[in-house]
Structure 1
């Protein structure tokens, strides 16, 4: 039981850290958007920051636990309707442990274009382009579970989704993996928008090179999972200096 409790507390700490990192990395909109995580040991309970708290205030002890019926099962504070509508069905259908949804600036700018595809114009982009799903039909504010179910169908087996005229979603097995995907996505969207703004032709990587870049390399000193864990640990150390308190 103690191991489960330790795992749940670690999940709380990591999700609170991700909320604060989104402020540090300029990925947030104050109190809006949502980061959720499945409660370890439960398939149908999820952690989220209660609506109304600024993401820079997020603490592990603040997170509430909710279910798909919209009930707050643990903690105090309210659950925002679109968080329920988008995240609960996505968790259930996709099987993702972590779901991060934002309206981050550079990814949203790309999603405002008629042709909003992320292009393989850099090494980092090459890791992402083949793992992005596109939801090209904005349907308005998310206010029912059917919208989350629709989005789950659009996501399929990808780990990032572009939501036309709306924002993005990144999913993962853990917070470190999902947040690193979200952060890198914003960086490559920014680079693409800046490159496009020059009006000059883009030099894109060809398909075979993209496959080479994204393929596992047995000579790498660290696995992808190790890189994700090291990255997030480093960013939590940054938070300890710049925005402490998330682990309370």
Structure 2
């Protein structure tokens, strides 16, 4: 029997949690992902408060409404998750999937005095002039006002380096969101490793970096297939994610 949109999205998002845990990109029982279900983006799936990514199943995901202020007081809803994802889904209907993580290398770059990702290879070039930066960290993002501020920074970019904090990635579907946050972390790993040599970086010319970034934008099917392959591995390892 064919799955409806919500059912398929539940499986895809549950698989993403499992993949991220498998790759060691999670942080304890923190961090959160969401995916819009309704056409206006305001109804969305979100992981329950403080449940380990490696245990999440499709049926565990909460269905919330960004216009429902009472959702913020539910015991199974994390305050920072609601503040960030609720505001992004309320204000940015095209941000269908929203992933927030504190991966080691991306967070390290976000902790620089001036966070930036210079294009030194084709992975880092994917993000040339395509990442917003927040340099106003003020503590836990657990208020509607802070969520709205972060959403504003994502109006014309789909990635946000959160200074002294982590990263947010948005995308039109789960597959592209997963591949983007994975490639962003890989890019920052390459960058931090290159910096660690103490040698000067060979930064690509702007025209080459821009061409490479546009080339990446042409192969979103690559991103989706990367996710599908990883999802299959997770299902084979533990089919309970489908429950």
TM-score by length of 2: 0.92
Pairing of 1:140-159 with structure 2 (within 5 A)? 140-159=139-158
**Post-superposition CA distance 1:66-109 (Å, at most 9, x none):** 1233445xxx9600000010111112222201000011111011
Mapped to 1, the partners of 2:131 and 2:176 lie a distance apart of 15
* Alpha-carbon contact 1:136-1:164 (below 8 Å) kept: yes
Q: Residue 230 of structure 1 aligns with which residue?
A: 225
Alpha-carbon spacing, 1:202–1:27, altered in 2? closer, same or farther (3 Å): same
The root-mean-square deviation of aligned C-alpha atoms, in Å, is 2.2
Alpha-carbon spacing, 1:243–1:152, altered in 2? closer, same or farther (3 Å): same
Q: Residue 27 of structure 2 aligns with which residue?
A: 29
Mapped to 1, the partners of 2:238 and 2:150 lie a distance apart of 33
Shift in Å, 1:174: 0.5
Pairing of 1:32-71 with structure 2 (within 5 A)? 32-41=30-39, 43-68=41-66, 69-71=68-70
Identify unmatched segments of 5+ residues in structure 1. Answer: none
**Post-superposition CA distance 1:27-76 (Å, at most 9, x none):** 1113101101112446321111111311000100111111233445xxx9
* Alpha-carbon contact 2:158-2:170 (below 8 Å) kept: yes
Alignment coverage as a number of residue pairs = 240
TM-score by length of 1: 0.90
Greater shift, 7-16 or 148-157, is seen at: 148-157
Alpha-carbon spacing, 1:77–1:22, altered in 2? closer, same or farther (3 Å): farther
Q: Residue 86 of structure 1 aligns with which residue?
A: 84
Q: Residue 211 of structure 1 aligns with which residue?
A: 210
Mapped to 2, the partners of 1:232 and 1:88 lie a distance apart of 25
Identify unmatched segments of 5+ residues in structure 2. Answer: none
Q: Residue 178 of structure 1 aligns with which residue?
A: 177
Q: Residue 133 of structure 1 aligns with which residue?
A: 132
Alpha-carbon spacing, 1:137–1:225, altered in 2? closer, same or farther (3 Å): same
